[in-house]
Amino acid sequence: MTYKGLVPHFGLPGKSAGRAPDFFPCPGQSTGRAAAAVLSGFAAALAVAAAALIAFYPPPSTFAALYPPQNNHVRTGRFAGIACNGVQCRLCPYNCFLPEGARGRCKVRINYGGRIKTLVYSQAAAVHVDPIEKKPVYHMYPGSLIYSLATPGCNLSCKGCQNWEISQLYPEQAPRRVSVPSALEVRFLPDGRAYGEIRSTETDSLTPEDIVKYALATRSKAVAYTYAEPVVFYEYMYDTALLARKAGLKNVMVSAGYINPEPLAELLPLMDVVKIDLKGYNEKFYRAYAGGSLEPVKRTLLELKKKRVLSEVVNLVIPGLNDSEADLAALSAWVKENLGADTPLFFSRFTPNYLVSELPPTPVATLEKARAIALKRGLKFVYAGNAPGHPGENTYCPKCGKVLIRRYGFAVLEDRLTPTGGRCPWDGTKIPGIW
């Protein structure tokens, strides 16, 4: 029977995220009578033969029909191991066990012929040249442009996802061609004022080499892996970051931090800033809202601190879900005690979206309460996000209290740090960041 729908994805619901799930029992493991042992051995031999046939002759009615050999978005993935009659993906804490033809929770990694394949290499679903403040990243090159991209897929399932049109897509549901920024031309008005004009190119494959070329042509200072979840397009991100670093560009990973230690350790030497969405400080909320667990995210943040990678933390404050004073205080205290007082922390305003569209937007007063709690805990750089014009958008000197960077939304109105190399011009206090 030919299967013409989407290839299903499999995890092991109910298993604890953060540890490998129990495998399906392998043939031959039973301890019954001799006859049962013989039958089990025969079944094991059949399974091995079937796996060999699949490896050499992939089933045409599932994966091969959707992704023929000439599809250049399909590449061999990393961080996986053989597990009985399937493979176990070890990229993220779900550690999905995948029988032949099955996908992980991310929708973009599949067992094909006994190997993990990524389906989204060079398949950009969204590409823009953004102000770096939009990430949000406030402690690197304020006011600069950053070349930003995402593929389909995500390994979490946040009910209020702001980019669900990308993150919840199967790769085959994404547009085949996408318009990507390819150059920035600077033009001058008669009064001498300058403005930039972006030129775009339409493509069905945005290679790492293309990204670096276009980032330089658009006068971007960095490349951001963002919008959805870059962990799920790990191979694409890694190869691009390697080329970007060689070209003199910075790399920024905007992530929920749901990644296993080994792939994280290999990636971090290429990253200049990692921005982590710490969705809350309550395990029950994490599971109900995001379908994940808090502990792996804390582990990622601790590793960033250990490796001295510049990190900025964002908490999207959602009315009635993660905005209790106790949760905000616990989150602030953990960041201060484990990541340090210099860690930038954002409390960002939620706007109704996706599966929680019935909720109201976050009151600005809630952001102010959260910011006051964090400052009282001793954090030095606490911001109010998605609240244009609020004083909490600015960067202040923690010693003298004067404004060092004044912002309005994504616009930088005043920057006193870049000219001084990151020091307060009044008292010389060193501000952490890349200036």
Give the helix/strand (H/E) hosting 88: strand 86-89
Amino acid 195: pLDDT = 81
Is the CB of residue 141 less than 8 Å from the CB of residue 173? Answer: no
Same domain for 354 and 225: yes
Intra-chain end-to-end CA distance of the chain, in Å: 60
Is the CB of residue 289 less than 8 Å from the CB of residue 279? Answer: yes
Token readout for 415 is: 């920057």
Instruction: Point out the domain boundary residue: 94, 118, 142.
Output: 118
| Domain-embedded: residue 222 | yes
**Residue pLDDT, tens place only, 120-152:** 999 999 999 999 999 999 999 999 999 999 999
| Domain-embedded: residue 3 | no
Tell me the C-alpha distance between 142 and 81, whole Å.
42
Same domain for 211 and 253: yes
Tell me the C-alpha distance between 233 and 107, whole Å.
11
Give the helix/strand (H/E) hosting 64: helix 63-66
Is the CB of residue 189 less than 8 Å from the CB of residue 216? Answer: no
Instruction: Point out the domain boundary residue: 118, 143, 161.
Output: 118
| Domain-embedded: residue 233 | yes
| Domain-embedded: residue 72 | yes
Of 59, 30, 56, give the one whose Cα is nearest residue 42. 30
**Residue pLDDT, tens place only, 160-197:** 999 999 999 999 999 999 999 999 998 888 887 888 89
Give the helix/strand (H/E) hosting 82: strand 80-83
Instruction: Point out the domain boundary residue: 118, 144, 172.
Output: 118
Tell me the C-alpha distance between 7 and 381, whole Å.
46
Largest alpha-carbon pair distance within the chain? 93
Token readout for 392 is: 């909490």
**At 209, phi and psi to the nearest 5?**
-65, -40
Q: Which CATH number characterizes residue 378's domain? A: 3.20.20.70
Provide CB contacts within 8 A for 333, sequence distance 6+: 377
The CB density around residue 369, as the number of other CB atoms within 10 Å, is 16
Same domain for 74 and 141: no
For residue 320, the number of C-alpha atoms closer than 13 Å in the C-beta half-sphere is 7
> pLDDT tens, position by position, for the chain (435 residues)?
333 334 444 443 334 444 444 444 444 444 456 666 656 677 667 666 666 655 555 544 455 555 655 678 999 999 999 988 899 999 999 999 999 999 999 999 999 989 999 999 999 999 999 999 999 999 999 999 999 999 999 999 999 999 999 999 999 999 999 999 999 998 888 887 888 899 999 999 999 999 999 999 999 999 999 999 999 999 999 999 999 999 999 999 999 999 999 999 999 999 999 999 999 999 999 999 999 999 999 999 999 999 999 999 999 999 999 999 999 999 999 999 999 999 999 999 999 999 999 999 999 999 999 999 999 999 999 999 999 999 999 999 999 999 999 999 999 999 999 999 999 999 999 999 999
Amino acid 52: pLDDT = 61
Same domain for 293 and 194: yes
Angstrom CA distances, 195 to 187, 190, 411, stand at: 5, 12, 14
Indicate the number of domains in the chain.
3
Same domain for 296 and 339: yes
- Structural domain boundaries enclosing 60: 34-118
Amino acid 19: pLDDT = 44
DSSP 335: I
Is the CB of residue 109 less than 8 Å from the CB of residue 117? Answer: yes
**Residue pLDDT, tens place only, 313-328:** 999 999 999 999 999 9
Same domain for 159 and 142: yes
Scan for tokens 């582990």, then name that residue. Answer: 299
Q: What's the full length of the chain, in residues?
A: 435
Which residues lie across from 407 on neighbouring strands? 412
E strand residue ranges, 152-215: 178-188, 194-203
Same domain for 194 and 112: no
Tell me the C-alpha distance between 232 and 104, whole Å.
10
What is this structure's pTM?
Answer: 0.84
Is the CB of residue 371 less than 8 Å from the CB of residue 415? Answer: no
